[in-house]
Amino acid sequence: MLSEEHQRLAAQVREFADEVVAPASYEYDTERRLPMEIIAQMGQLGLFGLPISREYGGQGRDYLSLCLAVEQLARVDQSIAVTLEAGLGLGAMPILTFGTDAQKERYLPALARGEELAGFGLTEADAGSDAGGTRTTARLEDGRWVIDGTKQFITNSGTPITSLVTVTAVTGQRRRSDGSSTPELTSIIVPTDTPGFTVLPGYDKVGWHTSDTHPLLLEDVRVPEENLLGEQGRGFSNFLTILDQGRVALGALCVGAAQGCVEQAVDYAQQRVVFGRTLGENQHIAFTIARMQSRTAAARAVVHEAARRLDAGMPFSNEASIAKLVSSEAAVANARDACQIWGGNGFMNENVVARHYRDSRILEVGEGSTEVQLGIIAKHLGFPNALTG
């Protein structure tokens, strides 16, 4: 059901993934290093500018195009895929969606070319899905925002080409109708060369070893008042929109991971001979792979539906959560099954299915955990307290 243009893009990125990314993925995973030369090639292909308008140096394509590119990369290397997904979905999209004309003109062209990367500084030790726990603060002083706080688990925040991080900060309190108060959250663009902005050492992660992920420290960070992204006090609403968009793209990453496991399982089952016949001649193995394919197809369908609704300007929050839930569970289940089919060889890190097994675990947590997605879906079904009850 894809257009010819979409099919050509998917084929182009698939070829790049198979010929450039896959052969190097184990080396960079072992070194725990983001391969900037591969990122540069992705920029030259225009991948970082797919949904960014041509006015700002992008490709002017739809969000489904981004999902197709992320899916093809994730088949062979989730770390590379999430670098693209986060670089656009969480890095550039906040500026594209809420930025002023001046902010778009200043930041988007370099991001669209892949010459720079941006991060999204939301999560803290006590705040993530519960944004009300945000402790980072920002105050206006002599025409500048003064920001103090910490952020954690921030993707693309410490690469050699990271130029900015959009941070959420408490800028006041808002009164509710019942007399109680709630933090007023505001989004602010912070260039990474701003004094007081410190990228702390990266994490020792279970998976996504190649992906760049750091905690951040902001001490008396001062940026111009015009670095406000969107309206003051609208940070909570804005980040919900960005997370909805990001969940669609991350869902595509999950689909790619699930598809990669199917392809690896099929290849091995057709070649591995045990007790005089190939593994695939055993009904149990063939049925297991058939179930893996069914999970993948279902996940792809809901991800594409969410992307098409996003592109059409229709409400898509519920569909985004369904896509994230279904696709992340498919990726985790397929990674488990693929490793089982590969047996002892599936336990070796040089095998892509072993890396999928490690990498896929975060897919049920990042950009809203499984429980958060269930709460959002339940809310749309008429259970408003599902997330907090």
Active-site amino acid positions:
367
CA distance 223 to 166: 12
**Rg of the chain (C-alpha set):** 21
3-state class (DSSP) for residue 216:
strand
Distance CA 284, CA 274 (A): 14
Cα 178 to Cα 276: distance, rounded to the nearest angstrom: 74
Phi-psi category of residue 114: left, alpha or beta, with phi > 0 → left and psi -120 to 50 → alpha: left
How far does CA 351 lie from the centroid of its chain? 23
Q: Which token pair is 86? A: 């986060």
Q: What is the DSSP letter of 202?
A: P
Residues whose CB is less than 8 angstroms from the CB of residue 38 and which lie 6 or more positions away in sequence, other chains included: 20, 21, 24, 80
Give the relative orientation of helices 317-342 and 352-359 as an angle to the nearest 10 degrees.
140
Dist. CA 132–CA 126, nearest whole Å: 9
Provide the residue type at 138 as one letter: A
Answer whether 167's CB lies under 8 Å from 188's CB.
yes
In Å, what is the CA distance from 210 to each residue of 54, 130, 150, 213? 30, 28, 23, 9
Report the alpha-carbon distance of residue 285 to residue 265 in Å, rounded: 9
